[in-house]
């Protein structure tokens, strides 16, 4: 049984943000003069387009039959033709925030049915496979902690918004179970190929990359260098894999992946705004860890952000040192990194505990504004050298959330205006851009909140 929120919070510092005040800023109204009704309609229209719009050009949410637990649905990365725990859990978070229970339950049902690893011979048993084909076939057999984190938070909010049901819809029990597994998954070593479920065919990684328009820059680089595309990855004898917890207890932070041979963390996986709630709502024995993790994550943001640009790497060691990319090149600000400015800004908005977070938000926004708010690119070296030529709506959206932490002024207002004037993403790249766009609109419009029973008492 869940401990009442008031009792759980008795020994915690509630900070100076929206968690204490119950006031969530609507920056579109406050800074741009848009009416609250207009902002709400815009958020609802965006949800309807991404979840129920045209299937070829607009939506990322697809219902696909039913099972004994009800409707099944997935959120797809349209460009890559897969479903990812990142997008599934983002979709659940959006649904619970906007009170869309059908969509929430359908996404959770698909996640549990297809993505949860249940084969005892797979060392990731109990975790969710981070990438699956939209037909429920495996695209990967390992897990990514950002998906698990958003699943936990969305489920806790669902328990407080709708109450707990039975089976997989006992949201509180499901969240508790995932959170315990993140810390206490045993160290298990096995040799692939692995299955997601008993009876599945073993998953064998293809010897060329999955077809994807996101590979376009690699194709272009290969053409310039006279190399073949797609590259061939020579088959190697399978090597043992050891999987353990998703957190590093010594550093009090989330890992990049639970495979022990892969070091470090990902700054964009750090969610101190959520950890503060877990320090209150998680099983009692788990709470002290997440209280420590919230403080550590705020320090990690400061350590990993470049002193001039504020840009942080996709991956970093536990001490904050940037780690190289998959191809051995120096660590850069890339797609995962877009989310970091949103993470620290939401933390400041909800809790107001770290005075460094406004400065970090202002630093990133100032750098990107200097690059041109309508043309900054989506990948940079940490000191600000461009590494692509694409301007991305998702990155604009996440950077605009910096306005929740930054001091009011012309630069944060320029980001707000640019986001408001940008249409909802459609077409090939609508998945990641669209998910970040909608959640950012919700954050900045005051419709992404802590959902807590005590607010209704």
Classify residue 175 as exposed, middle or buried by CB count within 10 Å of its CB (0-12, 13-18, 19+). Answer: buried
Return the ∠ at Cα 91 (arms to 88 and 95), rounded to 5°: 140
* Strand 253-254 with 247-248, pairing: antiparallel
Report the C-alpha gap between 215 and 81 in whole angstroms: 13
Q: What are phi and psi of 386, to 5 degrees?
A: -65, 140
Cβ within 8 Å of residue 81, ≥6 positions away: 133, 134, 210, 212
Measured CA distances, 61 to 77, 94, 96, 239 (Å): 10, 12, 15, 37
3-state secondary structure of 190: strand
Report the C-alpha gap between 291 and 274 in whole angstroms: 10
Computed on alpha carbons and rounded to an integer, the radius of gyration of the chain in Å comes to 21
Which residues participate in catalysis according to the annotation? 86, 336
Q: Which has the closest alpha carbon to 137: 129, 125, 148?
A: 129
């Amino acid at each position: 049984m869940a401990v009442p929120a008031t009792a759980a919070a008795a020994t915690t510092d509630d900070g100076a943000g929206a968690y204490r005040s119950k006031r969530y800023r609507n920056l579109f109204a406050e800074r741009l003069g848009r009416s609250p009704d207009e902002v709400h309609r815009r958020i609802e229209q965006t949800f309807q387009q991404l979840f129920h719009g045209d299937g070829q050009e607009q939506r990322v949410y697809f219902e696909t039959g039913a099972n004994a637990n009800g409707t099944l649905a997935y959120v797809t990365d349209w460009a890559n033709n897969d479903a990812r725990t990142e997008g599934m859990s983002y979709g659940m978070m959006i649904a619970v925030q906007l009170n869309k229970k059908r969509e929430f339950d359908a996404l959770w049902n698909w996640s549990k049915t297809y993505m949860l690893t249940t084969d005892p011979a797979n060392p990731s048993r109990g975790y969710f496979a981070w990438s699956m084909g939209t037909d429920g076939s495996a695209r990967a057999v390992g897990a990514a902690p950002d998906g698990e984190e958003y699943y936990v938070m969305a489920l806790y909010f669902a328990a407080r918004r709708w109450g707990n049901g039975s089976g997989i819809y006992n949201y509180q029990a499901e969240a508790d179970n995932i959170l315990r597994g993140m810390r206490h998954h045993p160290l298990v070593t096995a040799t692939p190929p692995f299955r997601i479920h008993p009876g599945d065919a073993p998953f064998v990684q293809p010897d060329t990359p999955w077809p994807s328009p996101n590979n376009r820059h690699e194709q272009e680089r290969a053409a310039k260098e006279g190399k073949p595309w797609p590259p061939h990855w020579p088959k190697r004898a399978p090597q043992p894999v050891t999987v353990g917890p998703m957190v590093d207890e010594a550093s009090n932070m989330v890992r990049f992946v639970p495979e022990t041979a892969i070091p470090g963390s990902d700054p964009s996986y750090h969610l101190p705004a959520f950890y503060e709630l877990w320090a209150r709502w998680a099983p009692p024995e788990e709470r002290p860890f997440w209280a420590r993790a919230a403080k550590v994550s705020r320090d990690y943001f400061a350590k990993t952000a470049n002193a001039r640009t504020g840009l942080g790497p996709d991956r970093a060691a536990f001490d904050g040192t940037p780690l190289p990319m998959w191809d051995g090149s120096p660590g850069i600000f890339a797609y995962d990194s877009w989310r970091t400015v949103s993470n620290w800004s939401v933390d400041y908005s909800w809790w107001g505990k770290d005075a460094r977070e406004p400065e970090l938000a202002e630093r990133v926004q100032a750098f990107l504004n200097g690059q041109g708010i309508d043309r900054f690119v989506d990948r940079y070296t940490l000191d600000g050298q461009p590494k692509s030529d694409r301007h991305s709506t998702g990155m604009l959206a996440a950077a605009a959330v910096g306005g929740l932490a930054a001091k009011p002024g012309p630069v944060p207002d320029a980001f707000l205006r640019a986001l408001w004037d940008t249409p909802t993403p459609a077409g090939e790249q609508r998945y990641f851009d669209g998910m970040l766009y909608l959640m950012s609109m919700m954050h900045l419009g005051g419709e992404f909140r802590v959902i807590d029973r005590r607010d209704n008492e």
